[in-house]
Structure 1
Amino acid sequence: MGNALFALHGEAELGDGGANSFAADMVEATHDTTKLKRTLVAGGVGKAAAALCLALFRSPAGLFLRKKGLFYSYYGVLFAIVVFGVAEAWTGLWVSHNCRWRAVGMTVLWLSVLPLFFLAGVASSAILK
C-alpha cells in the first residue's frame, strides 16, 4: 500500500512540510513555472513573517548585545529581510503573468537562500537565549 501512495503522489508532497519539502520545491521549481510562482510567494511571505516576528517579539541576544552598532544592525537586517520577502513574493506574482521572466524568478529564488540562513541563525540564537 505504501508504494501505491507514492505512485499517486510525489515524495515531496508526502513530506513533513518542513525544510526538506521546501528544498524539494526549490529544485522542482527550476523546471516548472507554476511551482516557481508558488515557491517564490510562499518563501517570500514566510521570510517576511518570520523576520517581522523576530523584530517585534524577540530582542537581540548574544553577539548583538556587545556593541550598539551590532544592536541596530540586528533590526536593520531584519527590516531588509522583510523588504526582500515582500519583493520575492511580488516577483512570484509578476513571473506568473509572463513566462519569459522566468530567469528573473530563478535568480530571486536562489538569492533567497541567503536571508533564509540569516533568519535560521538569528531565530536559533533567540530561542536558545
Structure 2
Amino acid sequence: MASVTELGAMISDACQEAEKLPGALISCGVVEAAAALCLIISSPPRGLFLHHGKAPHYLYYGILVAVVIFGLFEASAGFWVSGDVVGRRAVGKTIMWVSIVPLVTVAALGWLVILNVK
C-alpha cells in the first residue's frame, strides 16, 4: 500500500503527465477508501471527538463515510478518465486536487490512532 508521501509524488507526476492521471486517481481513491474503512472498523473516535456528547461521534463517522464514498468516486473517475485521457484531463486533474483534502483528513485521523491520543 502506498504511503502518503508516495501518493503526493504520484499526484505531482499525474499533474505533469496525462498518461499517469488515471493510475493516480485509481490508486489515491482506493487508498483513501481503504484507510477510512480501516478507521471506521478498528478505531473509536479519539482526541477532539471525545467528551463532548454524541454529536462529535456522529461527525467522526460521517467524515469517514464521506471519505469512503469520495474515494470510490475518485477511483471510478480514474477508470472514466482512462477512456479519453486527453479530453478528460481537466476533469481528472480537478478531482485529483480536490482529493487532497480527504487524503489529509484520513492521514490526520490515522495519526491520532497511531499516537494513541485520548
Give CA deviations for 1:54-76 in whole Å, capped at 9, x if unaligned.
00111111211222111111000
Q: Distance in 2 between matches of 1:126 and 1:28?
A: 30
Give CA deviations for 1:47-103 in whole Å, capped at 9, x if unaligned.
000000000111111211222111111000100000000000000000000131110
Q: Displacement of 1:21 after TM fit? A: 3.1
Give the counterpart letter for 1:114 in structure 2. V
Q: Distance in 2 between matches of 1:119 and 1:71?
A: 15
**Runs ≥4 residues deviating over 4 A:** none
User: What is the aligned counterpart of 2:12 among 27, 40, 50?
Assistant: 27
CA root-mean-square deviation: 1.3
Q: Distance in 2 between matches of 1:91 and 1:106?
A: 11
Q: Is the 8 A contact 1:51 1:82 kept in 2?
A: yes
User: What is the aligned counterpart of 1:54 among 36, 39, 47?
Assistant: 39
Give the counterpart letter for 1:51 in structure 2. A
- Answer 1 or 2: higher relative contact order, Cα 8 Å, separation at least 6: 2
- Other structure's SS at 2:25 match: helix
The higher radius of gyration belongs to: 1
- Other structure's SS at 1:60 match: coil
In the superposition, relative to structure 1, how do residues 20 and 62 fare at CA in structure 2: closer, same or farther (>3 Å)?
Answer: closer
1:113 matched to 2:113? The reply is no
User: Identity percentage over the alignment?
Assistant: 42
- Other structure's SS at 1:30 match: helix
Structure 1 residue runs of 5 or longer lacking an equivalent are 1-16
Count of equivalent residues:
113
Give CA deviations for 1:85-123 in whole Å, capped at 9, x if unaligned.
000000000000013111010000000100111111111
Structure 2 residue runs of 5 or longer lacking an equivalent are none
Q: Displacement of 1:28 after TM fit? A: 1.5
Q: Give me the TM-score of the superposition, normalised by structure 2.
A: 0.89
Q: Distance in 2 between matches of 1:41 and 1:58?
A: 25
- Other structure's SS at 2:44 match: coil
